[in-house]
Structure 1
């Protein structure tokens, strides 16, 4: 009898604890998605081409991007007054990235430091280079991105007006013949970088920097701790700037589209992103909450809540696990029906939010006929999350950009 009571008590604690831990990020996710999806339906994207102001630099960190840097620079050159405003940082490159960039007439910095790889170190190197003659605005664009016309000017104008970090919409693109897993990944990125960013901005709170299409006042960027090798350096930069009083703002009038890696490199890329995000949840969200308490700042609380939402696939998998355990324990008579009811309502809210996001931005990527493949995609993601507990990948490691040049020599 005592054992039965202990098992029942443990089961209740487990399920109610799971419901609370999942309920908070699920509620945040649902509110952001519903508000964002409703807002996006009434927004129009202005693609009018306008020229950028003179007092800016565009930093383009590049690691073995010979295949893509030319197209990126061609697009940027159409949006600036002078080629010298664009600075490419060829970071630990073993291909023709620097040569191609120079042929476009832009400024090229070459950095060689195998002990300190990563985008953060490259940006820190560039900031130190321009501090002798600093611009008013600095914009960061990845070397494999394309920009909607007018994006550079709109970013710069918003920085000058608001004097805070600004993030444009940053999405990913895949080829027309891409597989269903890639298309689901593109949709998940749209939900994170577009729908939820619009939602939290409409609510009046700061967004998370996305890594490309970011703009900063020079006075803020020169003090930012850029040097580092974390895979989610954009999230870490968001946190560091927010604690210092410079919370980022999101705008929809600029758009940047990057490239989703393929094959094995795609899984490695997703592992870096998602392991890094989980590390942020475990280590940086508590830090943000402590700072929010000490500084008496609600915006830091909201940023912590936004960052506490795990990657979309993991959120769905955790809900499925909690719902299955709750159903099993209820059938066995170990718990009451209340935890199951709470998790059912939670699942309904998640479904409603995802449905609104899909209807708003996902129908082109995921026709109704492909939605039945999502369970297979979730199973495909399981090894990534299991690996986090065995061998977390939270630092910059070799990618397809390192492998391709070596393969081309054979």
Structure 2
């Protein structure tokens, strides 16, 4: 017991302790001094070895995260270019347009009107509405607007995936056949050229095609603008980039078409919380690719509040984590075995919840490195030890999304110019508050910088641009909320409860 206490106090091991007692018994105190010196050296070496071990583990982790981030960053750059010439085909394909609806009496009329007004031969498409477990006037209103309504009641199998699987089976058994089915949500509005663009892509050989997902209500709140920014940038940097590189796009839950033969062959079978992602994985495992129609626009209503947004995005992350747990290994095996970059890319995509957690840990390590003296754990600095490079890279990252929104005509040139000027704070802060400010001083300076630019934006560009500028800054907060949402989603990935988003107002196609 005494030896254990001494061992703890002196921070030495049992062998070293025995050596000291041997020295005492021999009454050779010079030997004891030598032994203690050796022990100190051994302890120092042990600490160095442990430090090297931690350093190595950290290096492997951070370099791995850096490479993944670089993959996504490089990939996104291919979305900046868009081919101007595209093939046009005469209307050939016939479509069954399916709207999945659960208690959507407020919005169902507008989506049916929007589909009725499509610029495509009327005999080549029919509109079907699934009134799924409804106890309101959804079915009645849909019929009044000219849709063919099928009412479904099943309390055990609830959710869009089950409703679609039920409806597809009915489509297959109809006397009239269709070349493809197209899926929409009840709150959607559709651009008049939607079926023309889908016809073009299918005539080029694609059996599954996803349309451009836009927003009906980007200016309702900072949450709706954050959603809209995320979708606008994803359309360009993720979807169009993959189209340009010949990779597979991803089905986005609404606004997509599927060839009926491939649907019959593979079966829908996608009844998880993100049935679109699940079906995308099945397609790629069977050698198919999803096409992209950048001009086939579907307008979607975004949640107004953080609470509603949180519930919806948690459901997405539950589905993502569920699909990743079931398909990641299969996709990676196929990618390696068949040297299929499409499958490998899809494996990277469905691993996003886990990649986000890795990025979070890397961010925490970076914060510790910056704000704690004597800690050298930000390994990437050793690879590129150049502050100017990292500051320039930060500006590039900050401006990439606004630049995409500029070329997509979602942000004005004035707003982009103001954001570009604002991004110079990375360089300006050093001259304003010094190179080693306190955390409080740095925070106060950042707040003052934001306030100055908000005032300048309001004075020179007006209230509308001021609001967009301020809300875009809050987009960073929206992005951070993905971290706890992702953790919750991974934790609850096996729970299948459906979270319904309630819609409270009507927006027509001419209002967007």
TM-score, length of structure 2 as denominator length: 0.68
Give the 5 Å matches for 1:2-401: 2-36=45-79, 38-40=80-82, 53=92, 55-79=94-118, 81-82=122-123, 85-132=126-173, 133=175, 134-174=177-217, 176-178=219-221, 180-263=222-305, 264-310=307-353, 317-327=360-370, 331-333=373-375, 335=377, 338-339=380-381, 352-353=396-397, 355-361=399-405, 363=411, 367-388=468-489, 390-392=491-493, 395-401=496-502
For residues 142-198 of structure 1, the C-alpha deviation after alignment (integer angstroms, 9 at most, x for no partner) is 2211111111222133223314211111123325331x2331222112222333111
Question: C-alpha displacement at 1:227, in angstroms?
Answer: 3.3
Q: Which runs of 5+ in 1 are unaligned?
A: 405-410
Q: Do the aligned partners of residues 25 and 230 (structure 1) sit closer, same or farther apart at CA in structure 2, a change above 3 Å counting? A: farther
Task: Give the distance between the partners of 1:146 and 1:369, measured in 2 at CA.
Answer: 28
Deviates further, 164-173 or 360-369:
360-369
Task: Give the distance between the partners of 1:84 and 1:56, measured in 2 at CA.
Answer: 5
Coordinate RMSD, CA, aligned: 3.5
Does the aligned pair in 2 maintain the 1:77–1:83 contact within 8 Å? no
For residues 220-253 of structure 1, the C-alpha deviation after alignment (integer angstroms, 9 at most, x for no partner) is 1122342343222111110001111111111212
Question: C-alpha displacement at 1:127, in angstroms?
Answer: 1.2
Deviates further, 395-404 or 75-84:
395-404
* Structure 2 partner of 1:408: none
Q: Do the aligned partners of residues 337 and 240 (structure 1) sit closer, same or farther apart at CA in structure 2, a change above 3 Å counting? A: closer
Question: C-alpha displacement at 1:352, in angstroms?
Answer: 2.5
Task: Give the distance between the partners of 1:393 and 1:91, measured in 2 at CA.
Answer: 23
Q: Which has the higher contact order (CA 8 A, sep 6+)?
A: 1
Does the aligned pair in 2 maintain the 1:289–1:300 contact within 8 Å? yes
Q: Which runs of 5+ in 2 are unaligned?
A: 1-43, 413-464, 506-512
Task: Give the distance between the partners of 1:24 and 1:169, measured in 2 at CA.
Answer: 29
Task: Give the distance between the partners of 1:4 and 1:194, measured in 2 at CA.
Answer: 49
TM-score, length of structure 1 as denominator length: 0.84
SS at match of 1:208: coil
Aligned residues: 398
Task: Give the distance between the partners of 1:224 and 1:320, measured in 2 at CA.
Answer: 41
Tell me which structure has the larger Cα radius of gyration.
Answer: 2
Task: Give the distance between the partners of 2:183 and 2:479, measured in 1 at CA.
Answer: 33
Question: C-alpha displacement at 1:280, in angstroms?
Answer: 3.7
For residues 293-313 of structure 1, the C-alpha deviation after alignment (integer angstroms, 9 at most, x for no partner) is 233322212222344445998
Does the aligned pair in 2 maintain the 1:168–1:253 contact within 8 Å? yes
SS at match of 2:81: helix
Deviates further, 25-34 or 238-247:
25-34
Does the aligned pair in 2 maintain the 1:51–1:150 contact within 8 Å? no
